[in-house]
Amino acid sequence: MAKRSNVETRKLDDAARAGWMYYVAGKTQEEIAKKLNVSRQSAQRMVALSVSEGLIKVRLEHPIAKCMDLKVKLKQRFGLNFCRVVPSIDSDPLSTLGLAQAGASVIELHLRSPEPQVLAMGTGRVLRACVDELSIMKCEQHQIVALLGNMASNGSASSYDVVMHMAEHIKAKHYPMPLPVLSRNKKDKEQLHNQHHIASNLQLAAQADVTFVGVGNLGLNSPLYQDGFLLAKEIEELQAQGAVGEMIGWVFDKNGSLLDCDVNERVASTSLIANSTKPVYAIAAGEDKVYAILGGLRSKFINGLITNEYTAERLLTID
């Protein structure tokens, strides 16, 4: 990252001060302008800059009536222990806007526990965005463990690793999974899992107090394809077998059943457990993930969902 000039640093300092006064202290832009000895227009720009630069994290806490109604219906229909539905942009059915802030608030709820907790984390764009929204915290009593590795067969790594990034935010002990997402074959997977340090990390993940996962679709815009874990031909073969989605690399159909397929024999991730007595949150939204999320809900591998209005309404219209 390029080093900022003194002028840029002072500009951000002023923006942070203005953002704090507006969002935390409740001052008006006119009051901020007077306090900082600038024009009202300058104060307005400084407040906007504090948000665009991520100096101030804005979250919606008000329980919007429509979102609350959708939340209740999803919990009842799918037997969820937890559900949060955030507003969505009507013009963009693929939008995941607001998911990161909602996911971060739930993660922080568990991080604030004074009792030691083990948090197991999946990977992917949305979970990485959630971590970006976390407050800077000191959580030395907690442990963060990866549910899967992030290496492709050629040794390259995905840029959406979560555990290392999260550990930087909260100063907790962390346990990455030094594994490929997919091993070459079942025998290789078993050999990897039998290595002591990997076996201990897998056991830690399986016993986690709370788990957070993303849900991936299975198309040419899916993470498994775009991040180089599967070829287009392999994606097409999975779709022909009825695959609609994946969680931490495990592939399932619209009814939530794991497929009897080559990918599920080779996936090196922690095993999924149905009907867990501990919180297992999925964070996902968007038209391209509707059937993947539906399969995930029917599978009972998750008991909590964070999604948006559009996706919630679509899930509730499918028989």
159, pLDDT greater than 70: no
169-218 pLDDT, tens digit per residue, is 898 999 999 888 899 899 999 999 999 999 999 999 999 999 999 999 99
For the chain, how many structural domains are there in total?
2
Q: Are 56 and 101 in contact (CB under 8 A)?
A: no
78-126 pLDDT, tens digit per residue, is 999 999 999 887 667 878 878 999 999 999 999 999 999 999 999 988 9
239, pLDDT greater than 90: yes
| Residue 1 banded pLDDT, cuts 50, 70, 90 | very low
| Residue 14 banded pLDDT, cuts 50, 70, 90 | confident
Q: In this structure, is residue 58 part of a structural domain?
A: no
Kindly tell me the sign of the dihedral angle through the C-alpha atoms of 133, 136, 139, 144.
positive
* % of the chain beyond a pLDDT of 70: 93
* Per-residue CA distances from 44 to 26, 32, 111, 223, 247 (Å): 14, 9, 34, 39, 43
- Domain identity same for 190 and 137: yes
Kindly report the CATH number assigned to the domain that includes residue 157: 3.40.50.1360
Strands (E), 16-147: 82-86, 118-121, 143-146
197 vs 277: CA distance, rounded Å: 26
219, pLDDT greater than 80: yes
- Domain identity same for 177 and 89: yes
18 vs 50: CA distance, rounded Å: 8
Pull the structure tokens for residue 16. Answer: 């942070």
Q: In this structure, is residue 230 part of a structural domain?
A: yes
- Domain identity same for 80 and 213: yes
| Residue 285 banded pLDDT, cuts 50, 70, 90 | very high
- Domain identity same for 138 and 160: yes
- Domain identity same for 182 and 255: yes
| Residue 158 banded pLDDT, cuts 50, 70, 90 | low
- Domain identity same for 17 and 47: yes
Q: Are 50 and 18 in contact (CB under 8 A)?
A: yes
- Domain identity same for 28 and 69: no
Q: Are 312 and 85 in contact (CB under 8 A)?
A: yes
Q: What does DSSP say about strands 118-121 and 210-213: parallel, antiparallel, or unpaired?
A: parallel
Q: Which domain holds residue 16?
A: 6-52
Could you tell me where the DSSP H helices lie in 151-289? 163-170, 186-193, 196-206, 223-226, 232-240, 262-266
Q: In this structure, is residue 57 part of a structural domain?
A: no
Q: In this structure, is residue 59 part of a structural domain?
A: no
- Domain identity same for 209 and 146: yes
- Domain identity same for 46 and 71: no
2, pLDDT greater than 60: no
Q: In this structure, is residue 1 part of a structural domain?
A: no
Q: What local confidence, expressed as pLDDT, does residue 152 receive?
A: 66
Q: Are 29 and 43 in contact (CB under 8 A)?
A: yes
Provide the whole-model pTM. 0.82
- Domain identity same for 128 and 271: yes
Q: What local confidence, expressed as pLDDT, does residue 224 receive?
A: 84
Q: Average of pLDDT values for 20-45?
A: 87
- Domain identity same for 210 and 255: yes
- Domain identity same for 19 and 139: no
